[in-house]
Structure 1
Amino acid sequence: MPPDLTDVAGDLLVARDVVLPAAALQWRFSRASGPGGQGVNTTDSRVELSVDLRHAPLRDDDRDRLLTRLAGRLHDGVLTVVAADDRSQRRNRRAARDRLAALLRDALAPDPPDRRPTAPSRAARRRRLENKRRQGSVKALRRRPTGE
């Protein structure tokens, strides 16, 4: 049976064949700024979700791909996402899990195919030059006439 995607404490399903166990995820909670009424100063609704990609139980090729593609977002091999959009810690936990899964899923996606180099057609080059000439003549008509 697949894991419950709305569960905020279980394993994190990243892709069909990539699942991060709950033990690999580190949670931190703190007070969030913004809306919250009277409870804003007492509720730890801001959520930070971290995973150490160097030690996460992943296949070696997946780990290497993640470490390479997410290098700019890592701090000592740890990837952290923050969610403080909502007043509810539970909804922020769900948002953090969704963001982390999406980030990892995008980083694991295969490279796009190489671009096939193309050149503009002869007709496209002709149209471009005609448009340049037309635009140049319009601008020439805007100039002050010479006093000859």
Structure 2
Amino acid sequence: MIQVTRRIAIDEAELVEDFLRASGPGGQNVNKVESAVQLRFDARRSPNIPEDVRPRLERLAGHRLTQDGVIVITAQRFRMRERNREDALERLLALIREAATPPPPPRRPTRPTKASKVRRLEGKSRRAEVKRGRGRPVTE
């Protein structure tokens, strides 16, 4: 079991790793070695993801979520396969942790106080007076 938060732990059997050739520069080695990792996690059918976290996780996953509810994370930042595996897993865990944090409470609208309204209007009139003083002098 991989501990994500205090109340969420996912089973390693739920993670599916595929290895593929990384794109980009690397010389002859890039054509021979499958160092990129594609990590798949079925978020929709996972029994370890709480029901209140699942919709937030799917919304945060965005384009990484397939039609079937599988999160696909591709890691090819590093040249070593093992380091790419760690990177993909860490990105998945960070995504789940972010989804597990509860959303902030909704903002309750408040009305400005009378004193703040007066201060705002006084500031506006002071500013208008400054700008009015920048005009051309009146010649008679």
User: Quick check: TM above 0.5?
Assistant: yes
Distance in 2 between the 1:35 and 1:98 partners?
A: 24
Deviations 1:65-84 (A, max 9, x none): 23311334332111122222
Scaled by the length of structure 2, the TM-score of the pair is 0.74
Paired position in structure 2 for 1:42:
32
Q: How does 1:108-147 map to 2 (within 5 A)?
A: 108-141=100-133
Distance in 2 between the 1:88 and 1:16 partners?
A: 31
- State whether structure 2 residue 56 is matched by structure 1 residue 82: no
Check whether the contact 1:70–1:107 (CA below 8 A) recurs between aligned residues: yes
SS state at 1:70 partner: helix
Paired position in structure 1 for 2:22:
32
- 17-26 vs 50-59, which moves further: 50-59
User: Given the superposition, is the C-alpha separation of residues 124 and 22 from structure 1 closer, same or farther in structure 2, using an over 3 Å criterion?
Assistant: same
Give the unaligned 5+ runs of structure 1: 1-10
Scaled by the length of structure 1, the TM-score of the pair is 0.71
User: Given the superposition, is the C-alpha separation of residues 32 and 134 from structure 1 closer, same or farther in structure 2, using an over 3 Å criterion?
Assistant: farther
User: Given the superposition, is the C-alpha separation of residues 128 and 39 from structure 1 closer, same or farther in structure 2, using an over 3 Å criterion?
Assistant: farther
Distance in 2 between the 1:28 and 1:141 partners?
A: 72
- State whether structure 2 residue 41 is matched by structure 1 residue 54: no
- 72-81 vs 101-110, which moves further: 72-81
SS state at 2:18 partner: strand
Distance in 2 between the 1:26 and 1:109 partners?
A: 25
The residue type paired with residue 98 of structure 2 is D
Paired position in structure 1 for 2:55:
68
The structural deviation recorded for 1:106 is 1.5
Identity of aligned residues (%): 44
The structural deviation recorded for 1:144 is 6.1
How many pairs are equivalent? 135
The two structures, once aligned, show a CA RMSD in angstroms of 2.7
Check whether the contact 1:35–1:87 (CA below 8 A) recurs between aligned residues: no
Distance in 1 between the 2:96 and 2:112 partners?
A: 38
User: Given the superposition, is the C-alpha separation of residues 128 and 47 from structure 1 closer, same or farther in structure 2, using an over 3 Å criterion?
Assistant: farther
Distance in 2 between the 1:32 and 1:51 partners?
A: 20
Deviations 1:1-48 (A, max 9, x none): xxxxxxxxxx43211232111110011222222343442232222222
